[in-house]
Structures are given as structure tokens and as C-alpha cells.
Chains A and B, each alone.
Chain A
């Protein structure tokens, strides 16, 4: 069997087994309502995590996404409150800004040869700061278009709903999988993660790919911000603090190597769902405390890092005797 699928299979198994265990204890968790909510509640995280997957696959990291989501939310709220432009136009503007923001970070990382960690840390401060400058208050969005958008959903048998934003997340994952697996850009992302010097020697356009990767992450963080804005019907500059950490955790639990070069966008979806499942279980249980989420996710992270270290070790040894 192909070794590169091992972490992905482990993730899927963990998800299925834990879902089954949850369902045994609380049969209600099998209802389409719970499944629909799982998608809706984690939509913004999932969309941002797709961008993070590309960044991590390429061997980088993007700490700015939580701030960019908050910035997008407050930007939309302020625009819709103080001007009379249509939300759709505001969406386009927000996406333009966040995409350009990501592209600039990518350009700095590539051309100034600075670590992605620090550049996106600066980006994180900058985006959060811009959000503060727009407003420090929580601003509700009352535009009727938001109501219209929220009224779109696909009714599942059993009373569950796939909402517009839940569906959008699934669509983003689908597109993300196609980009990663079926485009030259996608292969180039993996190539960068495998080794930037080698990739350059083999003719990968490193500068363009790096900038595109961070632009994509910025775009998806913006889209995630729009979804979050729809989800909460408000903009608040202190929202979504630390989402980048949840996204990184989802990516790693989804089976992607944190050092880049190996992993799958689809795995990230499972990573997001595992996090959502833990939270849902804790809500169902009622007596368990929310902090177990963090501890469990930390433990899962550790397990996956160890597992990947182990796979690397075994495959190196296996190859030397091959």
C-alpha cells in the first residue's frame, strides 16, 4: 500500500471510530441536524484551513489568518453600515484586499528571504490593527441581503440543514482538492514543500508559486471572514483570535506534514470535523468541560507528529535495504 496515504487513513479511522463511539453513547449525534450544524459551525474554520493546507504543504506557515478573518468581518460591517453599497460589492472589495495582503506577504517572504513565521506574524499584527482602526466595537450587520443569504439551505432528511455557508465550505474543499491534485500549480506547491532549491532546479517558478500560495491563503481567509460575518451577522475586531492555531491543528491532524511536502486538502476537512466532533460531544455530555477540547487536540497533534516521525524513520530504513 502507498505509504503517503497512511496519515490520511489514520485520520479518517480516528474520525469514524470516535464518531461511532459518540453515537453509541448519544444516538442523537447521528441525526442530520447534528451533521448539518457540524458543517455550519465549522464553515469559517474549514475554509481558512484549506488556505493553511496549501501554505503548510509548501513548507510555510500563515499566522495572519485569524486577524484577516476579523478584519474582513469588521470591514464588511463598517462598509454596510456607513455606505450604501451592496453586500456583494463589499464582499468583492474585502476579497481583493485580503488577497493582495496575502500576495504582499508572499512577495516579502520570497524576495527578502525572510522566515514565513515572522512575516506573517507582522501580518497578523497589521491585520488586527487595521481591524481595530476600523472599529473597536462589535457592529451588527442588518442588511436584508444577509437574511436572504441565510434563507438558502438544502434540507436534509431528518430535519438537518446544509446551510449556504456549510455548503460553501464543502465547495471550497472540493475546489481545493482539485487545485492541489489536478493542476500544475498544485504540484508546484508540493514541489516547493519537497525542497525549494531542487524545485527551482527542476524549473518550478518559485517566486510566482510562493506569492500565489499566500495570495490564495489571504483570499480564503477573506472568504472565511465573509462566512464568519454571515454566521454571526456582526463584525468585531476581537473575534477569531487564535483561529490560525485551530487551522494549523486541523491541517496537522488531517495528516499533512507540518514541514511541508506531504498531505492532502481532504484530510484537513477531517481534521476540522474531528475538532468539531470533540466540541459537539462536550456539548452533548454537558458535564465535561470545554478545556478538554484543547488538551485532546494537543494530544492528537502530538500523536500525529510522532506518527509522521515514525513513518519517516521506517521508510528511510526500509529504503536503505530496498
Chain B
């Protein structure tokens, strides 16, 4: 075991509660000097909450945080920065309208006679970036450079300001292979200088290419910390997705693939930069599951099918007729419904009542001139509040006051009210409590039994296995495998996700 003085940052038994949920439940994390430590987990696992507790964006409720062995309690990110913890976010948190040099020295520009000495500032900025092997015109505005350059500038600023710990929150999400390689060179250089680097990503190849150790969180729980070199990829995926690899639990599903006719068919459907062309067919009364890690193209697939993004290749066929799905409205007219992953931004209309939120999609489809009367809306809302067991004191309450699970059910109700033929659910059970979880799964099974076609995206593999008659596996924005019948096991999904493996490292 390493000696404790090698440890630069250690978080012990961190607890963070949000109203109605525990986001972090006694999570441990320790970072050594000169190591790259990957922090992994699916959305909602608690990665970003842990980061925020370490950078002072959130105040932790319990637990201790030590930097260089000294107990710290950063008030805010600026405070954490001055203590030595710098953070670089996925969406570069710098100001694109300022020059590169200004971004590097904002608030501490060199001055002469009270005025900013631009020449000196630019000279220092060039010198600073030269350490990172970068020679660019620092007086140009930051947004005239690629995201990769912006990332490097952000790292240079963070390291220059803090210098002990660098947290990289999905820095590679929008970079190409060469840019990733450049970034990795820089990170390895910082590691050699003795910095501790926390690296968050959802690209497993990159985890294996760069990190020394891995810590996995799931549902706010600490799952474990391992040496990267001795952790097989499959074990890692299992840690992240929470499956125990015991296939005995698999039960026979009631809904075997329906031999009935295909109702929805997509051929060569794709959009450049979002998702590679894929084929998909969905039968009546069938649940097709989509599995894949975050960023694998799951949500992109859903958005393409629902017309949020326009496809640039392929055809869509509904009941044998070729259709064009160029807008959500067009998709809705073909009997589609879509419960998005980000409920708050894409789902609920926060200030409207539960009743109005439930009636909205049906109303939009009927057009403004044929309003649902108030009593019809009430009947509709009451029916679904009862059917889906939406827990609320009053159907007239603004929906933003409901808990996540109940909001999810209300959005589901919004689509059920339109009597859809094809319902796309993107992470329907994310961020909701266990009780509501089970109810939504039961609901999916009921709907399917009634003859509705469903496409369900989920990172809960047991769930997918339980209700899907087919599962598509996505990786790197590509549909890579399709599992049917007896092949549907969590083990096979994990294998398919992890398959890319060693033969296809960092390209």
C-alpha cells in the first residue's frame, strides 16, 4: 500500500442530501500525488455531486475533506481554487468573447501605471502556453479557437491558479482522436510534475489509456477503487452498471418476440456527427431496449427517431407507408411519443399545473381551435393521476413542485393521453425513488401487453433484460449489436459494450 503522505486529496464518508434524495451516501475518494484517477459512473451516479462537494460548489452535509493532510472546507469554487483545487468542465467555463490572454489572467492582469500592460500579459500568456506545447496568437478571442485549444487554455489557467489538484470533468467529450492524444500528453506532463488529476469520462478506452486508478460510483454509493492495470474491462462495466454477473435470475419473459408484422421501420437512418446510420424495426406490442454507456448515441437515436434532429440519410416507414419525420409534430402525427431524459429542460412546463401538463400534447395535436374543455382536462388528468398513481395533493399544483418520479409519470401521462402507437422512453427510471421505479417498469409491461410499441433507453441492465424482447447495443455513436431471445442477458450486454476492447484503443 502507498504511504499516506503520498495522498494529496482525500474525501472520507462524504454525504450530500438533496430534498427527498441522498445524492452521496458515505462516499470515499482518495487522490495521490502524480496520479491520474478516473471517476466513473452513469448519469445520476453522483460523480458531479462529488466533484461539486470537493470544489465548494456544494457544501457537503457530512464527511471530511483533506488536502495535503489538512482539513479543508471550500466555500465556493474560487475558494477551492485558491486552496489548490482547479476544475475544468466539459463546456469550457471560460469566456469566449475575451482574448486567450485575458482568459488566462482575468482579475490578475499585469499592470503598469495602473493600466493593464497588454504586451506583458500576452508575453506571459505565450510563455504559459508554451509549457503545454502550444504556440497560438493569444490576443485573439478564445472562441475563434477549437474546443481542444480552449480546453488546454482552461487547463493552463486552472493549473496556474491552483497547482495541486486538477479536476477534468469530461474534457474529451467533443474532441477528435488527435485532440484527445494532445490532451493526454498534457495530462501526462502534469502528472509527471506531481499534480493529482481527477479524470471524469465515459470513454472506457480513455480510462485505460490514461488513468492509474479508477473509482466507481453508482446511485450515490461508493462501489470501489481499483488499480486500472488489474481491473478487466468487463469487471469495470459490471461495477458501473451494477449487475452481479449471475445469470440465474433471468426469467422467461411473457412477451416473446411477436411474429406479427413490423409496424415501424427505419432503414439506414442516421445523421452525421450524431449517430451513424442504423436499421431498426419495431413490431406491435414489442419493447425494444437500447443499451450503451452515456455518450454512446442513445439519446441521439431517440431524438432522431422523434424528429428533434432531422436525419440526413435513410427512410422511415410506418405501417408500410414511407413518412418524413422532420419535426416532433410530424412524428406525433404518426403516433409517436417521446419522454426525454432531461425532464426539467425538455419535459415539464414548470409553471403549468399537472392537469395542463398532462393535456398538453393531446391539445397540441388537436390544434388550438379544438380545445379540451376544462372538464375534459380534469377527467383526463384524474384518470392518469389514478392510473399511474401520481402522488399529489392537487391536480392544479404547478408540476415543478412534484418529485422527479411523479413528474416522470405526468410526462408519461401526457403521451398516453394521445394514445400513441410508438412510445420512446429515454431513461424513464433515472433519478426516481425505488417505489416509483417499480411502478414505471410495471407500466411499461402493461402498455406493451396492450399492443403499444416501445423503445426504451436505460442504463439499468436488469430492467432492460426484464422487459425487452430485443436489445440494441450502442457504442461510440454506432449501433453495434442486437440481442434477441435467449441471447438477452446482462452478461451479453456487458460483453457487447465492453467488446471494443484492446483491439480498438485510442484510435
- A residues with a Cβ closer than 8 A to B are 2-4, 178, 181-184, 186-188, 190-191, 193-195, 198-199, 201-204, 261-262, 315, 319, 322
Contact = CB atoms under 8 A, between A and B. Distances in A.
Contacts of A202: 93-95, 103, 106-107
Given A184-B107, A187-B98, A201 B144 contact: no
Contact of B145 (A182, A186, A203, A322): A322
Contacts of B96: 194
B78 A190 contact: no
Contacts of A261: 95, 97
A201 B116 contact: no
A194 B118 contact: no
Contact of A198 (B94, B139, B144): B94
Interface string B93-114: 1111110001100110101001
B102 A319 contact: no
Contact of B116 (A4, A182, A191, A315): A182
Contacts of B111: 184
21 contacts: A4-B141, A178-B115, A181-B116, A182-B115, A184-B116, A188-B107, A190-B102, A191-B98, A194-B95, A194-B96, A194-B98, A198-B95, A201-B77, A201-B78, A203-B78, A203-B81, A204-B107, A262-B97, A315-B143, A319-B147, A322-B146
Please provide the 4 A-B residue pairs with the shortest distance between their CB atoms, ordered closest to farther. Answer: A194-B95, A261-B97, A194-B97, A322-B146
A182 B107 contact: no
Contacts of B107: 184, 188, 202-204
B93 A198 contact: yes
Given A182-B115, A182-B116, A204-B106, A190 B98 contact: yes
A183 B110 CA distance: 10
A14 to B, nearest CB: 23
B193 interface: no
A187 B115 contact: no
Contacts of A198: 93-95
A203 B105 CA distance: 11
Interface string B122-155: 0000000000000000011101111100000000
Nearest to B149: A322
Contact of B93 (A2, A186, A201, A315): A201
Nearest to B116: A182
A184 B109 contact: yes
A150 B475 CA distance: 77
Given A184-B109, A203-B78, A2 B94 contact: no
Interface in B450-503: none
Contacts of A319: 143-147
A200 to B, nearest CB: 9
Contacts of A315: 143-144
Contacts of A187: 98, 102, 106, 109, 116
B55 to A, nearest CB: 10
A178 B145 CA distance: 26
